[in-house]
Amino acid sequence: MRRLIYFAFFLFALGNHTIAQQNPVLSVGNITSTANEQQKLAFKTEHAQGEILVYSPNVIRVRLDKKALAKDFSYAVVMQPQKTTVKISQSDSEIVLLTDSLKAVISKKPFAVAFYTLDGKLINQDEKGLQNSWVADEVTAYKQMQAGERFVGLGEKNGNLDRKGNGYTNWNYDAFGYSTGQDPLYSSIPFYIGIHHNLNYGIFLDNTYQTDFNFGASNNRFSSFSAQGGELNYYFIYHTQLSDIVKSYTALTGRMKMPPLWSLGYQQNRYSYYPETEVMRIAQTLREKKIPADGITLDIHYMDQYKLFTWDKQRFGDPLAMNKKLKEMGFKTTVIVDPGIKVEEGYAAYEDGVKKNIFVKYPDSTNFTAQVWPGWCHFPDFTSPLGRNWWHEKIKFFANTGVDGIWNDMNEIASWGQKMPSNISFNYDGALASHKQAHNVYGMQMARSSFEGMVQATNKRPFNLTRAGYAGLQRYTAIWTGDNRSEEDHMMAGVRLLNSLGLSGVAFTGMDIGGFTGNPSVSLYARWIQIGAFNPYFRNHTAVNTKSSEPWAYGEEVTEISRNFINLRYKLLPYLYSTFNEAATTGMPVVRSLAFTNTHEPRVYDGKFQNQFMFGQAFLVAPFESTKEYGAVFFPKGNWYSLYNDEPLQGDTEKIIRLSLQQLPVFVKGSSIVPMQSLIQSTAEKPSDTLVLHIYKGSENNSFVYYEDDGESYNYEKGDFYKRQITYDAKQRKIVFAKVEGNFKSKFSQLKLVFHGFGDQDKIQTGTALQNDFVSFIAPISRFDPQGTANPTTGCNVKSVTISNDKNQFEIKY
């Protein structure tokens, strides 16, 4: 009997062991050993190895793998860990890492991480019972979902501003004519911000495999993020202000350089403008109709049978001469480039690429081949220094033919069938990687190669645009939201995409104005171009099988509406260029969701108001479908003015407004300082010598950094810039102009100060050469004429005075 009992116990234990061995979920297990090294805690668990590194007082990095941690390498992260004072204490049950801003508590049994404020408030923690685990090669971190928690960000993702209740996949995809709910799209930015209980934090999962995020989709217990391979490698960021989280994220992944000034002007695109006579007709018509513009873009039909680094000699007999003529008219040329190099004997790029061995390969060392526009193609390996250097040399072809901008397309990688094999090999900067690991970063590395190649070729700032990308893409390129549709909901979805990209560290963004596929209605086109005037990248574009989509193609009224808002864009260039300098300096985007400054205000996430955004610091833009007659606008705390007639509006309120085809609802925040210039037809034209500073009376303090440089070189990095901080001090009732920084001479010798909302009781005073003579009722921008020449609206109280643009500090009291 005793033997039978022992035998039964043995079978039971063996069965349990077999079940454990067959369990498809491998949990991380308990911590078995630790080692402290200044700011880093290294550890082993029952089933993994890991480390926790304090990157800065507000940023903590967590790494975990079933195997030994790999060599530390990232295409996204450019910041090195900052020397930080860290206190590490340990007990039998937990380890505590303490900085001057954040506390991390690491549980030992099992391994789990929780983050707290210094006063003990829980910011974020692993979900108890789930923590971190693997299913085959997929690694997942499960986080406890807080009551009422919201989630924003993740870059180019469709859906609501608040991601709660949804799941998302990062796998760069050629999403032609995508629906407004489709996921994934073209780029992958695995960074999001969690918001709850007046707290906010950011998590950046730096893993280039397919990643998946779940914010309570199909469950009510957790949020999670996972990767299909590689390490669990994430950065936890905590600040009291959401804007500081984005600043820390862009400190990690890098910030954009100043773009060329011309790239902020209006861009006229088409798939496709050809031959040369058609390109010149478009350029000439823009000038004749006095529609300001700086760029014309050529799609794939400029090439000889779609082969890269060629011009079709029948359509463009002398591209250098054509581009020279366009420059004389104030236009810059941007051309599209695709990664596919046609397999064709006698084609120089193909033969040189084969000779220099720069293409991605199968495991048997043969070059991978897939079909794209030219036919069967090979693809340069942009994850290889050899491939990038080859591209640098080839891209000079465009600089040598007078091209100033590069448009990187089809770089997901896209190919007919959209099913690239997983076993393709990439160099991955010496680490060797499969397609699974390299796919999401390929487009970013192509954009990087184009950017670096054009800089080398021209020694100037190029305009660089991409469709695909990965976290950190902002260092090299602007991005647009791909092949959208000419539909009302697509226009609104595009607004949300730009808002989300801004929350994810990408400042230079745009969408195809009017929609790429299909034909917009007259009203839709008018509304879209109005919204486009407040996009960082202002691009009009449509597909090959659609009607013409230039402003004049929709009748005289739409032409006038388009002209008015493009005029406004060009008058606002000093404001916009200064805002881009803020993006380059701090990482703050140009298009800003209201969540930036009103993070814990529920109405920001309401479907009625979630599309609203700030254009820089000053302008509140409320986009609506062109079919609506009325719309609800939410005004955050503070005081506001209508852009068009200076009507004062109270903050912390909602208002139903009547909509019109001629006018996009735009409002200016009180205490704003908005620099504007005289109207020009392109940035090649000099404005008048007077910079107009519009100052709006407000109850809050505010500061604006006005910025200039030459708009084309990198001399600003050596101090050749003009920068002046202008502060609105509401309490002391004064505006302070700080002393000018930098060596650059401003293009403006005069300052015209225009005061909005100031009454007769507000006497403008200075102790120097300012005069107290005002031009009463300077007309604000009217809906018919953004140049401001129409009669003022009754009730406006706008005054102005002109002074010399002295570099010294001065102040104005009122």
**How big is the CA angle at 42 (ends 39 and 44), to the nearest 5 degrees?**
165
The residues near 402 (Cβ < 8 Å, ≥ 6 apart) are 319, 320, 322, 323, 324, 327, 333
Q: How far apart are CA 30 and CA 133, in angstroms?
A: 12
Residue with tokens 């079940």: 19
Reading across the β-sheet that carries 370-372, which strands appear in turn?
341-342, 375-378, 370-372
Judged by DSSP in three states, 605 sits in helix
Instruction: Specify which residues 656 forms β-bridges with.
Output: 632
Q: Which amino acid is at 557?
A: E
Q: How far apart are CA 488 and CA 620, in angstroms?
A: 21
- Reduced DSSP (H G I as helix, E B as strand, rest coil) percent helix, strand, coil of the chain, to 5: 25, 30, 45
Q: How many CB atoms lie within 10 A of CB 93?
A: 10
Judged by DSSP in three states, 546 sits in coil
Residue with tokens 């099988």: 545
H or E stretch covering 669: strand 666-669
Q: How far apart are CA 342 and CA 347, in angstroms?
A: 8
Burial label for 133, CB within 10 Å (0-12, 13-18, 19+), is: buried
Q: Decide: 708 and 716 in contact? Cβ < 8 Å.
A: no
Burial label for 684, CB within 10 Å (0-12, 13-18, 19+), is: middle
**DSSP-derived pairing of the beta strands 211-214 and 187-188:** unpaired
385-397 as b/e: b if 16+ CB within 10 A: eebbbbbbebbeb
Q: How many CB atoms lie within 10 A of CB 406?
A: 26
Query: Distance from first CA to last CA of the chain, Å, rounded?
Result: 102
Rg for the chain, CA atoms, rounded: 28
Residue with tokens 């101090």: 719
Judged by DSSP in three states, 386 sits in helix
Q: Decide: 469 and 413 in contact? Cβ < 8 Å.
A: no
Q: How far apart are CA 490 and CA 525, in angstroms?
A: 12
Cα 647–chain centre separation: 32
Q: How far apart are CA 406 and CA 387, in angstroms?
A: 18
Q: Is 397 left (phi over 0), alpha (psi -120 to 50) or beta?
A: alpha
Q: Give the closest residue to 755 by CA, choosing from 736, 782, 774.
A: 774
For the chain, count helices (H), then strands (E): 11, 51
Residue with tokens 């300012």: 770
The dihedrals phi and psi of 193, each to the nearest 5 degrees, come to -125, 130
Residues marked as catalytic: 409, 412, 483
Q: How many CB atoms lie within 10 A of CB 365?
A: 8
Q: How far apart are CA 97 and CA 39, in angstroms?
A: 9
Q: How far apart are CA 549 and CA 547, in angstroms?
A: 6
H or E stretch covering 328: helix 319-328
Q: Decide: 440 and 382 in contact? Cβ < 8 Å.
A: no
Q: How far apart are CA 442 and CA 436, in angstroms?
A: 11
